[in-house]
Amino acid sequence: MKVLQVDLGQRSYPIYIGTGLLDAGPVWSRHLPGRQVLVVSNETVAPLYLARVTEALSGSRFSVETLTLPDGEQYKTLDTASRILDTLMELRYDRDCTLVALGGGVIGDLTGFAAACYLRGVHFVQMPTTLLAQVDSSVGGKTGVNHPLGKNMIGAFHQPRCVVADIGTLDTLGERDFRAGLAEVIKYGLIANATFLGWLEENLDALLTREPEALAEAVQVSCRTKADIVARDERERGLRALLNFGHTFGHAIETGLGYGTLLHGEAVAVGMLMAAELSRRLGDLDAADCTRIRRLVERAGLPTAAPEKLDAQRFLSLMASDKKVRGGRLRLVLLASPGRAEVRDDFDPGELRALLETFPRAAAYTG
C-alpha cells in the first residue's frame, strides 16, 4: 500500500493506493468519526463491491446503511442528489455521520455534493472504482452536479476524510471506461510532468493490458501531481485551473451531445487535442508536438475528432458558460510545451474560431 497526503492544514487527508483496500476496514474506518455510515453506490458497482465494504465495517461500532443509484452521467443531477439527502433525512443521520462514495466519478461527485449540503457539511470518504476517479475526480474536494446548460456548474468544494483507491477494482472495469480514464492520466503528463509523459509513451502497452505495477505507478504519479496542485490552490484561484486542460472543449462536447453520449474522458481526450492545436496556432507548440500528443491519444484508443453536430458557433456558445470565464473573457488552459501548461485569456478569438471551424469532425458522435 502507498499512502500520499493532500496537505490542507486541518483538512489534510490521506490517499491510500493499493490492492485489497476495500476489505481493509481498520485502515480507513478510523477516518469515520461517528457511528452512522451511508454507503452510496450505483447499479453497476454495488453488486461487485458493496458487500465487501459493508462487511469491512461489520461487527464494529458502525451502523451502516446503503443506497444504490442509477449508473451514468445523465443521472448526475440535482434530482439524484436529492435522493441521497432524502435518505439521510429519513434515517435521521446527525452531524457526525459519514457518507462513503463507492463508485466512479459520478457517484463521488454526487455523494460529496450531498455531504457538503446536508446539515451544511458532513463527512465523506471517497472509494473510487474507476481509473478516472482514482487518478482525478476523487482527489481535491470538487463535488457537484450537471445542469442542462453546463457541466458541473452547481457544486461545492468539500474535501473527503480520505481516499481509498483499490487498484484491484480496475479488474472489473469495462474496456471503454478504462481507456477513458487514461485520458486524465495523459493530462498530468501534458500539464506538469514531461518525464511522466515520456514514461507513458514507453509504458502505455503495459497500462492497456492492466499490468499491476504499471497501473500502480500511473495512479500514484497522477494522484501525487494533483495533490500537490490542490495543496497550493484548493479553490482554483490560479494554479488549479491547469487541471482543466482539455476540459473547456470537452465539457462543451458533453453538454452539446447530451450527458453520457461520450464518456467524460473521451470528451476530454478530444478537448486536449483541440487545446494542443490552438497552442500550435498561437506559436507555443510545433507540428511535431501536436503529432506526438495525437499519437499517444490514438494509442490509448481514445477519440481524436470532434462531433460533427457541434459547429463552431455552437461550441463557442457552450464554452461561454464555462466556469473559467472571468469578466466575460474565456480563459483556456493551453500548452507552453509538452509538460508545461498555462492559463491564457490573451489569445486571438479569431484563432479559436478558426480552430473550431477546421478541427476534424466525426459523424459517429451524433448521439
- Does residue 42 carry a catalytic annotation? no
Asked if 318 and 153 count as a contact pair (C-beta separation under 8 A), the reply is no
**pLDDT confidence of residue 264:** 95
Q: Among the options 184, 217, 234, 277, which is catalytic?
A: 184
CATH number of the domain that residue 163 is part of? 3.40.50.1970
Q: Are residues 270 and 316 in the same domain?
A: yes
pLDDT > 60? residue 367: no
Residue 34 has, within 13 A of its CA and on its CB side, a CA count of 15
Beta bridge pairs of residue 340 = 337
The pTM of the full predicted model, rounded to 2 decimals, is 0.94
Report the first-to-last Cα separation within the chain, whole angstroms: 41
| Cα distances (Å, whole numbers) of residue 50 to 13, 65, 69 | 23, 11, 12
Q: Residue 132 belongs to what H/E stretch?
A: helix 131-132
SS3 99: strand
Q: How would you class 37 by CB atoms within 10 Å of its CB: exposed for 0-12, middle for 13-18, buried for 19 or more?
A: buried
**pLDDT confidence of residue 364:** 64
Q: Among the options 151, 179, 247, 331, which is catalytic?
A: 247
- Residue 277 included in any domain: yes
**pLDDT confidence of residue 366:** 47
**pLDDT confidence of residue 27:** 95
Domain hosting 355: range is 188-219+234-365
- Does residue 147 carry a catalytic annotation? no
- Does residue 226 carry a catalytic annotation? yes
Q: Are residues 11 and 158 in the same domain?
A: yes
Cell triple for residue 16? 491510500
- Does residue 299 carry a catalytic annotation? no
Mean pLDDT of the 200-211 span: 98
DSSP 117: H
Mean pLDDT of the 6-23 span: 97
- Does residue 184 carry a catalytic annotation? yes
- Does residue 158 carry a catalytic annotation? no
Quote the percentage of the chain above a pLDDT of 70: 98
Place of cell 503495459: 206
- Residue 97 included in any domain: yes
SS3 343: strand
Q: Among the options 179, 244, 323, 331, which is catalytic?
A: 244
Summarize pLDDT for 174-193 with one digit per residue, the tens.
999 999 999 999 999 999 99
Q: Are residues 147 and 256 in the same domain?
A: no
Share the mean pLDDT of the chain: 95
Nearest to 177 by CA among 124, 130, 113: 130
CATH number of the domain that residue 278 is part of? 1.20.1090.10
